[in-house]
């Protein structure tokens, strides 16, 4: 068999931007044609971006999709003989949903193959069954040159072990005996996801004796970030090629004599089994997620409330990396409880990052609100109400600046605090996007140290990293006054929220903490208290801004719990 040249087009489509997405595909196809490829492969739903959501319920959008597909078909005439493998929503007839999540092979202006996704994920962040009808249990194979190429769409390739669905499209495709499998994907990135993909598709490739090309989209879409990392697998050697992570890539490979080669006929460099270190992964994912979110929502600049604490410091450092120092503004809002050290630390942080720091004291505003409340209601604000007033005044100032200057307000809450409700609605929860809301507090410390280490200097001052966490809303207040130490709290939360989805080493640490606490009545009471805090603060999380997903189970679409519910837990520990 002569060599088959395949171009992996790892593009960054924008949801609903049909014309822009076609432009990306045109550019990639032109490059594929220059490299004499026979096939150019785009990600799942590459025409619309993944997932358009309820846009798919709008007649106007579906009309635009049909027009865009016609435009795309016409574009394929400019690359004679080249097969474009694209993803698009397609209409269907009969009972059930009116659409299919389809893979189309376009060539010379014609649709030469159509395949409908059979396994529609409806779990975690996925909700495809809301819009699509499953495709029939059939395999689709197309002869391209001397090769028989079979096709799959994302989830169709994830059930080869038969654990999640009664249907196994991979097995059906293997029965059709293709020479090569092409899988188009929109696989969101999370910690450990790359390794999971490699293990699953390597096992399937070996089980069926089939080489496979896996093409994934890249970019940030609301809370989700897609890392690309498209790859090629052979039964003999496993993953033998991997595209760049967190960046667009258009790469041509040759399939010849049972192996994948580069476009120049060279064996690709070995693919490391381990991906990025954990902190480097978090950093890359957050930076790409913020950059695309801001760009797609029309923001060039961001504003962050700078308290002198580690959460706002890390948020500012990540924002600077994503948007540039000239496009990030910090606002310090000291109250009568703010320490001089916190103000000084904010000044040093912003000097290190090269960003402007504006100081807007809130003491007089808070005092005026307290006086007005007393005059209207005949009582003085005390305790939690007085503390939260300060946070809400700060939120008001930040939103006023955002409205006045057009900056995107970034929230600074971490996953530990959001889990237990250690945040103020309409105060520090104000904003358009949360960068660190899927990082536990211990991760926040670790990522801050990682950023300093990689910079070779203190971008985030050691004084901020080393100080005891405090909201500074009351005299002498410390987080530890109302919460257990963060290493303990985080392990309790990970068991409650993430569960066995955690990696082996992390899960082992979590289980050790759980065993130690469960050995005493005091420890069991602490677990129960944390669980109660998580349960009763769902209403706050529901009203919080989107959070960039980093882990397998993030707040938002990744963890959907009722608000008005009675949580009766069988396991009191």
Q: Which of 117, 415, 441, 540 is catalytic?
A: 117
Q: 154 an active-site residue?
A: yes
HEC assignment per residue over 408-434: EEEECCCHHHHHHCCCCCCCCCCCCEE
The answer to whether the CB of 348 falls within 8 A of the CB of 461 is yes
Domains with residue ranges and CATH for the chain: 4-271 (3.60.110.10), 280-476 (3.40.50.620)
pLDDT for residue 573: 40
| Strand ranges of the sheet holding 147-153, from the earlier edge strand across to the other edge | 141-144, 147-153, 180-185, 212-216, 231-234, 238-242
335 closest CA partner among 402, 403, 412, 427: 427
CA nearest neighbour of 222 among 283, 287, 289: 289
Q: How many helices (H) and strands (E) does the chain have?
A: 16, 20
- Residue 446 to residues 191, 265, 451, Cα–Cα distance (Å): 15, 43, 9
Give catalytic status of residue 540 as yes or no.
no
**Per the residue annotation, which of 65, 100, 128, 154 is the catalytic one?**
154
User: Is residue 44 annotated as part of the catalytic site, yes or no?
Assistant: yes
pLDDT of residue 472: 57
Distance CA 142, CA 144 (A): 6
**Who contacts 162 (Cβ-Cβ below 8 Å, separation ≥6)?**
168
- Kindly state the DSSP code that residue 231 receives in the 8-state scheme: E
Per-residue pLDDT of the chain (573 residues; tens, 9 = 90+): 679 999 999 999 999 999 999 999 999 999 999 999 999 999 999 999 999 999 999 999 999 999 999 999 999 999 999 999 999 999 999 999 999 999 999 999 999 999 999 999 999 899 999 999 999 999 999 999 999 999 999 999 999 988 899 999 999 999 999 999 999 999 999 999 999 999 999 999 999 999 999 999 999 999 999 999 999 999 999 999 999 999 999 999 999 999 999 999 999 999 999 999 999 999 999 999 999 999 999 999 999 999 999 999 999 999 999 999 999 999 999 988 777 677 899 999 999 999 999 999 999 999 999 999 999 999 999 988 998 999 999 999 999 999 999 999 999 999 999 999 999 999 999 999 999 999 999 999 999 999 999 999 999 999 999 988 765 565 655 666 678 999 999 999 999 999 888 888 899 999 999 999 999 999 999 999 999 999 999 999 999 999 999 999 999 888 888 888 887 765 544
SS3 content of the chain, % helix, strand, coil (to 5): 40, 20, 40
Cβ-in-10-Å burial (0-12, 13-18, 19+) of 272 comes to exposed
Q: What is the CA radius of gyration of the chain?
A: 26
Q: Which residues pair with 4 in a beta bridge?
A: 255
Residue 56: the pLDDT is 98
């Amino acid at each position: 068999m002569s060599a088959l040249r395949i171009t992996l087009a790892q593009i960054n489509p924008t949801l609903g931007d049909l014309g822009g997405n076609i432009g990306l595909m045109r550019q990639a196809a032109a490059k594929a044609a220059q490299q004499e490829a026979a096939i150019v492969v785009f990600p799942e739903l590459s025409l619309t971006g993944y997932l358009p959501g309820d846009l798919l319920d709008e007649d106007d959008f579906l009309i635009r999709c049909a027009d865009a597909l016609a435009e795309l078909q016409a574009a394929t005439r400019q690359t004679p003989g080249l097969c474009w493998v694209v993803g698009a929503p397609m209409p269907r007839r009969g009972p059930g949903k009116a659409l299919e999540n389809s893979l189309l092979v376009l060539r010379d202006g014609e649709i030469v193959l159509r395949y409908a996704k059979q396994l529609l994920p409806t779990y975690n962040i996925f909700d495809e069954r809301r819009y699509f009808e499953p495709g029939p249990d059939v395999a689709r194979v197309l002869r391209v040159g001397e090769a028989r190429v079979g096709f799959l769409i994302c989830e169709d390739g994830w059930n080869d072990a038969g654990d999640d669905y009664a249907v196994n499209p991979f097995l059906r495709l293997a029965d059709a005996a293709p020479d090569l499998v092409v899988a188009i994907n929109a696989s969101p990135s999370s910690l450990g996801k790359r390794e999971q993909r490699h293990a699953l598709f390597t096992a399937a490739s070996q089980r069926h004796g089939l080489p496979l090309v896996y093409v994934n989209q890249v970019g940030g879409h609301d809370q989700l970030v897609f890392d690309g990392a498209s790859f090629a697998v052979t039964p003999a050697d496993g993953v033998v090629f991997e595209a760049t992570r967190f960046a667009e890539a258009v790469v041509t490979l040759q399939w010849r004599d049972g192996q994948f080669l580069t476009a120049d006929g060279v064996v690709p460099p070995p693919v490391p089994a381990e991906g990025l270190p954990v902190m480097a992964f978090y950093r890359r994912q957050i930076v790409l997620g913020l950059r695309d979110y801001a760009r797609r929502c029309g923001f060039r600049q961001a504003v962050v409330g700078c308290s002198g604490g580690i959460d706002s410091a890390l948020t500012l450092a990540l924002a600077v990396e994503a948007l540039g120092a000239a496009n990030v503004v910090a606002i310090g809002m000291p109250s009568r409880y703010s320490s001089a050290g916190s103000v000084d630390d904010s000044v040093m942080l912003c000097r290190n990052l090269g960003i402007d720091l504006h100081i807007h004291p809130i003491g007089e505003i808070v005092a005026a609100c307290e006086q007005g409340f007393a005059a209207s209601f005949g009582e003085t604000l005390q305790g939690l109400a007085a503390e939260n007033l300060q946070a809400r005044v700060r939120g008001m100032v930040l939103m006023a600046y955002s409205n006045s200057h057009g900056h995107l307000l970034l929230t600074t809450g971490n996953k530990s605090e959001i889990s237990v409700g250690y945040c103020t609605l309409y105060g520090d929860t104000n904003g358009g996007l949360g960068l660190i809301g899927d990082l536990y507090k211990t991760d926040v410390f670790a990522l801050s140290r990682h950023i300093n280490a990689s910079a070779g200097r203190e971008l985030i001052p050691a004084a901020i990293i080393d100080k005891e966490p405090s909201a500074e809303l009351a005299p002498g207040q410390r987080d530890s006054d109302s919460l257990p130490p963060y290493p303990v709290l985080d392990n309790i939360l990970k068991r409650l929220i993430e569960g066995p989805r955690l990696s082996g080493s992390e899960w082992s640490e979590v289980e050790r903490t759980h065993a130690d606490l469960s050995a005493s009545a005091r420890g069991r009471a602490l677990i129960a208290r944390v669980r109660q805090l998580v349960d009763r603060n769902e209403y706050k999380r529901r009203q919080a801004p989107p959070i960039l997903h980093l882990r397998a189970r993030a707040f938002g679409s990744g963890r959907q719990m009722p608000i008005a519910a009675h949580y009766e837990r069988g396991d009191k520990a």
